[in-house]
Amino acid sequence: MEKNWQTILDTFITQAHSGDLKTSYYPKEWSDLNVKVSFGMGTPARIPWIGLRAEGQEVSRGINPVYLYYKDIGILILGYGVSENEVAPQSWPLEIMSSAQTINAYFDKKVPRYGDSFVFKAYKVKTIDGKITFQYTDSNKDATEIDLESDLATICEYYKKIFQPTSSHALPVGVSEISLGLFYMEKQLEDFIIHNWDNTELGKKYDLIIEEGELLSQQFRTDIGPIDILVKDKKTGSYVVVELKRNQTSDDTIGQLARYMGWIKEHKNDKNVKGVIITGQYDKKLDYAREMLPNIDVFIYQVDFKLNEFKK
């Protein structure tokens, strides 16, 4: 039976304090990524870790999602890992490096190792009545099993997109994505749609989910990963899963959307859940795939981007 991720983390934390360096218990793969665990070589490491990496990438030379356990102070970091010993041939996107804290900055001091990696989530690790608990350091809220799996799924999905092959549909010479009104990063598209919801076609048909003044629709958490945007149909009250894809989309998008729709159907008891794909350009493969799923709609976005010279 496949282990759940909280069980894996519980075992990892316990073993980190035991001196046992064996790693055969841990899965070799998770979320289509290779998994490597280290408690040290020969002697216990000060900072044990769990690294996840794409095929062809090395933990010692590259970037990857990583858990770093600063066991002396009981803090577990889920981070945007950066290799220490060799210069990584690829770096995390600028939006990460400009917004996320390095681990050195997070602790406000130079840590023994991995200080140049970036923090995605940080948890206080406590043992209460023999049970290991995880608590977010920024809010002091308990991290549930679903939270832990969702956090990992979020950073893994982001990481995998970095290594996805670029579209084979090249733009014509002299034509840029900006000139076509295409967003460079999916996050930009997501934020734009949320901020302009009432002025979009989607806003006419669907409502954002807001509870106690908090927006829940954006990056809605599930234990199989975050839904880009989850909304409700104004007329029926059924859930609508919105999946965003930059530039050229494909039938792979259908599979991802269908998984989230299945999750909503089971966990929200909604048999009429719908799906929406938002993309910059249309794809014939997508058209054939959606023939079998009539409850999925496709929207193509277009943004008018202009620069006007300032004149007094």
Asked if the model's pLDDT at residue 81 lies above 80, the reply is: yes
Query: Number of C-alpha atoms within 13 angstroms, CB side, residue 100?
Result: 22
> What does the pLDDT read at residue 87?
64
Examine the pLDDT at 6 and tell me if it is beyond 80: yes
pLDDT digits (tens, 9 = 90+) for 234-270: 999 999 999 887 544 566 678 888 889 999 999 999 9
For the cut 90, the answer to whether the pLDDT of residue 121 exceeds it is: yes
The per-residue pLDDT for 186 is 60
pLDDT of residue 167: 45
Distance CA 279, CA 284 (A): 13
- Residue 246's pLDDT is 56
- For 176-214, the pLDDT digits (tens) are 444 444 444 566 778 888 988 998 889 999 999 998 888
Can you name the CATH fold of 186-300?
A: Trna Endonuclease; Chain: A, domain 1 (3.40.1350)
pTM of this prediction exceeds 0.75: no
Whether the predicted pLDDT of 127 surpasses 50: yes
Tell me, what's the pLDDT at 7?
94
Separation between Cα atoms, residue 163 and residue 246, nearest integer Å = 15
pLDDT band at 308 (very low <50, low <70, confident <90, very high): low
Which pLDDT score, from 0 to 100, does residue 29 have? 92
Question: Is the pLDDT confidence value at 278 over 80?
Answer: yes
CATH number for the segment(s) 5-162: 3.30.920.90
pLDDT at 252: 67
pLDDT of 114 reads 92
Mean pLDDT (the chain) is 83
Domain locations in the chain as residue ranges:
5-162, 186-300
Tens digit of each residue's pLDDT (9 = 90 or more) over 289-307: 777 787 888 887 766 655 5
Q: Decide if pLDDT at 85 tops 70.
A: no
Q: Indicate the range of 71-85, 106-120, 156-170, 227-241 predicted with least confidence.
A: 156-170
Residue range 130-181, pLDDT digits in tens:
899 999 999 999 999 989 998 998 899 888 877 764 444 444 444 444 444 4
Q: How confident is the model at residue 44 (pLDDT cuts 50, 70, 90)?
A: very high
- Average of pLDDT values for 44-56? 91
More confident residue, 87 or 159: 159
Share of the chain above pLDDT 70, in %: 82
